[in-house]
Structure 1
Amino acid sequence: MPPRTLLLLAFLSLPILLLTSHAQKPHNTSLCTTSSCGTTTITYPFRLRSDPPDCGFPDPFFALECHTNSPIITIGSQHYNVQAITYGNYSIRLTDPGITPGNYSTCPTYPSLDYGNSSQYMTSVYIYNIYFAFITCSRPVNNPAYVANPSCGNATAFPNASQVYGYVAENVNAYNNLDKSCVVDKEVHASSATPFEVRTYPYSTIHDFLSHGFEFSWYQVYCGDCNPANGRCSVENGKVRCRHYCFEHTPLSERSFRCKLEYYYPYIFLIILPAIGKIQFNPDEFVNDKSTNLLNFGLLPRWNLTAEMLVWSFICCCRSAVQKKKAARRCFHGGRRR
């Protein structure tokens, strides 16, 4: 293959390198042993508090305790039961310690999840979350959005009342239709991989939702310096990957070397194109014998493309790929703002 052709192909491959992502490196735990608590396997980024600190992610959130064969996670001053840790999708499922599966007289312990003390490395797994409000009233309330729950009424909410009445409702319904004789005592939520039906659930179903628990994802522990470097970290095909984007609103002086190179790419192209000259593109230079036979039979077109045609076709493909990614960036500086 002629050297000038190789030079052109190398230059054309530059945008592809700018658009690619890379997998984040896993933590080296070769010197650590896998722990367990009951039926739950505990390994990086989690560890038992009795394990060496290097065997878990350096955040107190990931240090678990084991009580009567049940793993416990601490969020601020709250302690939740760990129902499952799924390492394949980087998730952990938690339940309130006051909820006992099948025992519908049990009530949540905590008034709400202490998000202020949760780890920055934890994010919601599912987009489908349902929030329930436990309500205490000083008198009976006839509201179709309220589900009677006599076991979880909070007598301290109305100390002068001879009797209190407990209800459960979805958060939105609770606040939009809150009776003057009622207060919201607790707010809890559950997660699901499928959408929740928009209807009033019986309390047994609500209790089953809470018994299943709510889930967090901890894939952020593998993101490293991806986010600080204007990257977007996500899980793709079971692996944590980092994609870097160049944003138009970022001043050129603050952009990374890769983004500066993307910015100057068309200008570099205009400079080196005269040096490369017009190169006739012959498909026979890039195919093997079997493909060449297809060319001879007329099954593949035999085109002669100049360097300019090849470059501008490639730029159009590049711009289309970027638009599909819906990223706030340009494939080619000087193009119209998306």
Structure 2
Amino acid sequence: MLMGRYRLRFTSGTDYFVIMMVIYLSCFVFIVNVAEAVSIQDECKVNRCKHHEPLVRFPFRLQGLQPPHCGYPDPGFQLSCSENNETALKLPRSMKLLVKHIDYKAQRIHLYDPSRCLWRQLVHLNLSSFPFMFEEPSYPLAFYYLFNCSSNDESLYDNRIVRCLSTPGSQIIAFESDVGYVYNNILLNCSNIGNFSTVIPPTLIDFQLVWYRPYCVDCEKEGRGCRLKNNSTKDQTECFDIPRHHIGARQKLMVAGVVLGCFILATIVIGVGWTLHLDKREKESQLKIEKFLEDYRSLKPSRYSYADIKRITNHFKDKLGQGGYGTVFKGRLSNDVLVAVKVLNNFKGNGEEFINEVGSMGRIHHVNVTRLVGFCADGYERALVYEYLPNESLEKFIFAAKGDNRSLSWEKLHDIALGVAKGIEYLHQGCEQRILHFDIKPHNILLDHNFNPKISDFGLAKLCSKEQSAISMTTARGTMGYIAPEVLSRNFGNVSYKSDVYSFGMLLLEMVGGRKNIDVTVENTSQVYFPEWAYNCLDKGEEMGIRIEDEEQTGIAKKLTIVGLWCIQWYPVDRPPMKAVVQMLEGESNVLTLPPNPFASADQTKMGATMSRKPVNIELATISELE
């Protein structure tokens, strides 16, 4: 048990220092107490019954602790300690009251009865033969009649009931002599039990008394002791200097032994504690490794039951968001691993999104792609478990940024754009099979605690061989505004990885404009379709009306715009691959050239562009989707 207690306390070097200081301080306090205990005893030194009780010194003395000559010879100045070590003053007729405070400078003593019934003790108190008296203005001497009444109607007695003397069914009533006759008509059921005179009103709880001799006020004010003069009358006092006690040789040896013992004890305790600390640190290191391995296993894509999903999400307590394919909840695998759990709607689709997510994300390991931690396929219940990203999606930052309220700097926007481009390049070239995302948009770009971007939501993704550059599709997929023209109409070419390049270009232009690319709320109608308006501004050398603080930020905005315009060329063959996009974003903006104008014919609708300068690349082979 002793070793267990030490193991709980000794946890670090700082703890050892604190504990050592506590032990040394305890030794110091103990030494001081020993020095006081072994010092030359003064039989009349200040004493008390216990801590917080009043200090007792001349003219008072504590019976049994101080000899008679230490106090004034009058018996009234003799105090004693009760069974509970409370300071008590013995009054005439064996009455006892407790001492609350003694003011030696004002020569005043504060008394109280713990039973809160002074009349029980003081009805017969006569201070004429006592060294104390009431301080002016004093209570006058009054004569009281006491009656014992059987009626319980308190209203009859005009609040003259002495409650602490009364008992159930027996009310004790007190009347002063000059008013008692008025109540003769209500005392028919009462019997007189006594008449007496006293200076204590029945409502008094505690009181103060003063003494005028011996007179020690001057000594107290000077901070000196007061005592009776030798061979003089009992009223003559003198002041004296309170001596300081010195420790003798024997006492010094005792104190030295105590000091040495304390230091030896402290050294032993610290040595044992340090040994236990090393042992505990070794065990903590082992536990840390075990915990890491446990967390590492939890980060690999694992299959969970629906009961596990409910436990991880604390029964779906913390909802993060909701989309067309399901609801996302915040969850926890362990104390250090937070996750986002997307519970798929069972009535949506035939399970294709679930298969796409697990099939594609389970093989992805890139810093700019959201990691799939696990999945659940428990009957009709399906869920996907991702790593948790606290800053949510890019959408809330770029579309909420208006003018001076832009929440992301241009430098950070550039870093995010580069990170997303590298993530898409990895999907297209870094995996064993090429992964086409088909839903690149701000909502699917999540940000970690350092605002590093991660591509998410692979529900519409398709796998294909890297040797092939096109894919057959029966229906269009994606989000309007980001879908490449060839996905909607084969007149623009075959569907391929270049479709993701187009979506990325639209994403870049929205990051620059801080708004949706099609915004009918703008005042200038020429700015409704931001990509065309931005191209015209760059082509004419005009400012794009975006708040930019310095030339460096101007270069970033221009670079992102030019790269975005290259990516949204109507025909796939006109768009650069993601590897070239990454190179453009990493390079200087002044070396970039403006792409061909994809909006050359103004009389065409924005999604039905005119024919490009280049013909459709008919050499792109159409291949089947890989299941």
Q: TM-score, normalised by structure 2?
A: 0.23
Q: Which has the higher helix share?
A: 2
Q: Which has the higher strand share?
A: 1
Which structure has more relative contact order (CA 8 Å, sep 6+)? It is 1
